[in-house]
Amino acid sequence: MTQLKETGWNFDNSYARLPKLFFESVEPAPVQAPALVIFNHSLADELGLDTKKLASKEGVEQLAGNQLPAGAEPIAQAYAGHQFGNFTMLGDGRAVLLGEQVTPAGERLDVQLKGSGRTRFSRGGDGRAALGPMLREYMISEAMHALRIPTNRSLAVVTTGESVMRETELPGAVLTRVAASHLRVGTFEYAAGAGTKEELQALADYAIERHYPDIEDNEDKYLALFDEVVKRQAALIAKWQMVGFIHGVMNTDNSSISGETFDYGPCAFMDEYHPATVFSSIDMQGRYAYQNQPAIGQWNLARFAETLVPLLHESQEHAVEMAQEILSTYEEVYHNEWLAGMRAKLGLQQEEDEDQTLAEELLRIMEAHRADFTNTFRALTLAQPEDTPMSGTEEFAQWFEQWQARLDREDEATASSYEVMKNANPSVIPRNHRVEEALEAAVEDGDYSVMERLMNALSDPYAYSSEQEEYTKLPEPGTGPYRTFCGT
Indicate which residues carry an active-site annotation.
Answer: 253
Please give the DSSP secondary-structure letter assigned to residue 353: T
Who's near 87: CB < 8 A, 6+ residues apart?
A: 80, 81, 189
DSSP characters over 240-260: HHHHTEE-S---GGG-BTT--
Farthest-apart Cα atoms in the chain, separation: 71
For 120-218, list the strands marked E by DSSP: 129-130, 153-165, 169-179
Rounded distance, CA 405 to CA 401, Å? 6
The one-letter amino acid code at 66 reads: N
Q: How many CB atoms lie within 10 A of CB 477?
A: 5
* Integer CA distances (angstroms), 297 to 204, 261, 354, 358, in order: 20, 12, 27, 25
Rounded distance, CA 476 to CA 478, Å? 6
* Integer CA distances (angstroms), 115 to 164, 461, 475, 487, in order: 10, 30, 31, 11
Rounded distance, CA 298 to CA 242, Å? 18
The alpha-helical segments, DSSP class H, found in 313-372 are 316-327, 330-345, 355-368
Angle between helices 197-211 and 185-194 (to 10 degrees): 160
**Residue 337, helix vs strand vs coil:** helix
Q: Which residue pairs, CB below 8 angstroms and at least 24 apart, start in 332-337?
A: 333/230, 333/231, 333/234, 333/235, 334/234, 334/235, 334/237, 334/238, 334/294, 334/297, 334/298, 337/234, 337/235, 337/238, 337/239
51, 45 contact by CB (below 8 A) = yes
CA angle, residues 230, 353, 294, in degrees to nearest 5:
25
451, 139 contact by CB (below 8 A) = yes
211, 184 contact by CB (below 8 A) = no
Angle between helices 355-368 and 394-408 (to 10 degrees): 150
First to last CA, the chain: 27
Rounded distance, CA 164 to CA 174, Å? 12
474, 167 contact by CB (below 8 A) = no
